[in-house]
Chains A and B, each alone.
Chain A
């Protein structure tokens, strides 16, 4: 037992020695102090932490190449400015001047190295003039105005097929919008709106337009679908109106605009329309305001607005 106790005592003091010697080194490393064995002095340094996407970039600190590749941590840097460069085959190099402060870490952890020849894939298999992507359903819609054709494919360009033809009545299409139920396509230019079915409906040909409307006396600013896929919201130079998508439907004028070219944003998911319009103050000065038009409560607010307009008239 005596021998064991002696071994134990030696072990105890050895452990104590390791602790007392090791602790200053661990703490100085943690606090980023550099020990100079020549002067026996500690200098406070800084750290640079580098992460790149993708990993594996060669790091140049000034003109010096580091052994470590990204992600990397450069320790014991004397405070100051450093020129950093990261290179990787087949990628554009990245470079910057990094400032290092004593006792601090400079984090360069959101570096993206972009490829020299990015991976580009052609999706369309026919000539096209415009496209619209439905991410939710993973579908790409294409329009070839010249050939009057509408196509669709998946997001990889596979299953490419023609799904509709554009009527001859509309040309110089400015925008097109697919209805929320993905069954109809709305195209418009400055003075005409046309809605067609995407694919045959009830064995009927999809070539004939479902709805075709000319605004010869007004300029169309924008058109949006209502979430029911049966109403469209039109913004013209004069007003904001709503229509049913059927021939001969009447417009309900929701707002008469003071401003000719309002900025408009429609949130199709909640049927809310944001638009700008001008207001003249009593002092004669004109202010531009942003308005929110809630169309979500079915048609009751629309009716209220219509009533108000009628009363006004």
Chain B
């Protein structure tokens, strides 16, 4: 359905631009105006979220936990951290585990699970290397090896994470730790947490009205190799971080993304992550949402987890990798039929909630697939395809002027985005030239190209494949930290 709607919108507008160019131009102007106002609105939310992030970053959350009233004892809480790993080598995981080790939080309250894939021949060797360095650093340290070909499973990250969570459950049972006192964080292999992360997470868990009916979403930034990554890859990831910051201000739409945390008890109750879906990070939220009949939420944590910009070494390989990664993210549209199916089975969820959440999910994926195409590709079409008739009409004359004027307004929002992008950057490494600062400011001019190539196109690709019943294997993103 989403694929049909997206293609329907695009094809209808192309056909209209030929046969009814005036109608098409009216739709384009209306859409452009709507999008400019929406961008201004979202940029304001971004500023608000950024201010919150700046305010809460660096806060001593552990002290905040100490000062909580007696009932909420943070010392009862254990943090289970699962790293699903496929091809990522020890050099990537070393940074992630070092970040855990350097956390401002008692390590005897942290259990680490490195979830390797049995099908990777280097898994055991990599596990051994990491074992030697980190085995004794935490309360618990497990290396699990997810067997290949378990019936009902597909080669997905969720299947590996589920296997690891079940192994962790055995460990918790052995240690007689209650599930309700465990917060599980499922992190990408390259995730480096802020040193206050677990303090912040514990604080929000303990102060939440319904801690087991909440997921906890940190703000992802891609700072691990941001100074080394090529411009287009950097822009895509910065936009992705900003998108999460904006979403954190729209709680009624907020869904888990990438690295996040939740109650282990809830994870067990909802039968873990899906083992046959690509978008495990968001489906887990919808599973919980349906399980609790809509009484489930995502609490934003204004603290960062830093990951790698998807970078494959060369320009074209990186574009290809970025494209596949974005297509995988856009595969999240598979949540829509999952959600609708779930809604149909649960009469307890109010109809309004069902309609609103379904609409939000559908609208976000369709917008993702078509907005850049409408603004950049279809926008000028009536002028080229409308013929002499359209060009002698007043609207034919005014269309480029109005769209040009509207786009000029986006310069203001772009300036805000550029400034904010500079503020979330880590310090420039010594080996990176000062000139890179200039490049990182000027590179924003390529945004219109990027949003087509790595925005709308992969989303449309994913929706089309899903609509045509094509399958997509989980294709983990390669991580590199080489100087460009």
Contact = CB atoms under 8 A, between A and B. Distances in A.
Given A30-B26, A30-B402, A103-B394, 18 more contacts: A5-B251, A7-B48, A8-B250, A15-B37, A22-B33, A23-B30, A26-B29, A26-B33, A27-B30, A29-B398, A30-B398, A31-B394, A47-B394, A103-B393, A103-B395, A104-B393, A104-B394, A105-B393
A50 to B, nearest CB: 12
Which 6 pairs across A and B sit closest by C-beta, in order of nearness?
A32-B394, A105-B397, A15-B41, A30-B398, A30-B395, A15-B37
A11 B41 contact: yes
A8 B393 CA distance: 40
A103 B398 CA distance: 11
A23 B36 CA distance: 12
Contacts of B394: 30-32, 45-47, 103-105
Nearest to B34: A19
A116 interface: no
A24 to B, nearest CB: 10
Interface string B348-385: 00000000000000000000000000000000000000
A277 to B, nearest CB: 42
B25 A15 contact: no
Nearest to A16: B37
B39 to A, nearest CB: 10
B53 interface: no
B33 A19 contact: yes
A3 to B, nearest CB: 10
Interface of A: 1, 4-5, 7-8, 11-12, 15, 18-19, 22-23, 26-27, 29-32, 45-47, 49, 73, 103-105, 107
B44 to A, nearest CB: 6
Contacts of A104: 392-394
B428 interface: no
B35 to A, nearest CB: 10
A10 to B, nearest CB: 10
A5 B254 CA distance: 13
A11 B251 CA distance: 15
B405 to A, nearest CB: 9
Nearest to A32: B394
A28 to B, nearest CB: 11
Given A4-B52, A11-B45, A32 B33 contact: no
Contacts of A7: 48
B399 interface: yes
B140 interface: no
B141 to A, nearest CB: 36
A32 B395 contact: yes
Given A7-B48, A105-B394, A26 B402 contact: yes
Given A19-B33, A32-B394, A27 B26 contact: yes
Contacts of B447: none
Contacts of A49: 397
Interface of B: 22, 25-26, 29-30, 33-34, 37-38, 40-41, 44-45, 48, 52, 249-251, 392-399, 402
Contacts of A45: 394
Contacts of B395: 30-32, 103
Contacts of A12: 41
Contacts of B29: 26-27, 30
- Find the residue from A5, A26, A107 having the highest chain B CB count within 10 A: A26
A296 B364 CA distance: 68
A244 B56 CA distance: 97
A92 B52 CA distance: 66
A138 B445 CA distance: 44
A71 B33 CA distance: 27
A8 B25 CA distance: 31
Contact of A19 (B22, B37, B398): B37
A109 to B, nearest CB: 11
B33 A23 contact: yes
Contacts of B30: 23, 27
Nearest to A44: B394
Contacts of B397: 47, 49, 73, 105, 107
Nearest to A8: B249
27 contacts: A1-B251, A4-B48, A4-B52, A7-B48, A8-B250, A11-B44, A22-B33, A23-B30, A23-B33, A26-B29, A26-B402, A27-B29, A27-B30, A30-B29, A30-B395, A30-B398, A30-B399, A31-B26, A31-B395, A32-B395, A47-B394, A47-B397, A47-B398, A103-B393, A105-B392, A105-B394, A107-B397
Contacts of B44: 11
A19 B38 CA distance: 9
Contacts of B393: 103-105
Contacts of B26: 27, 30-31
B48 A8 contact: yes
Contacts of A11: 41, 44-45
Contacts of B251: 1, 5
A299 B51 CA distance: 87
A16 to B, nearest CB: 8
Contacts of A8: 45, 48, 249-250
B33 A29 contact: no
A45 B393 CA distance: 11
A79 to B, nearest CB: 11
A22 B405 CA distance: 14
Contacts of A29: 398, 402
Nearest to B252: A5
B388 to A, nearest CB: 11
Contacts of B25: 30
Contact of B37 (A1, A18, A30, A31): A18
B398 A32 contact: yes
Nearest to A33: B394
A30 B390 CA distance: 13
B459 to A, nearest CB: 24
A15 B392 CA distance: 34
Contacts of B392: 104-105, 107
A26 to B, nearest CB: 6
A40 B318 CA distance: 58
Contacts of A30: 25-26, 29, 394-395, 398-399, 402
Contacts of B52: 4
A234 to B, nearest CB: 49
Contacts of B250: 8
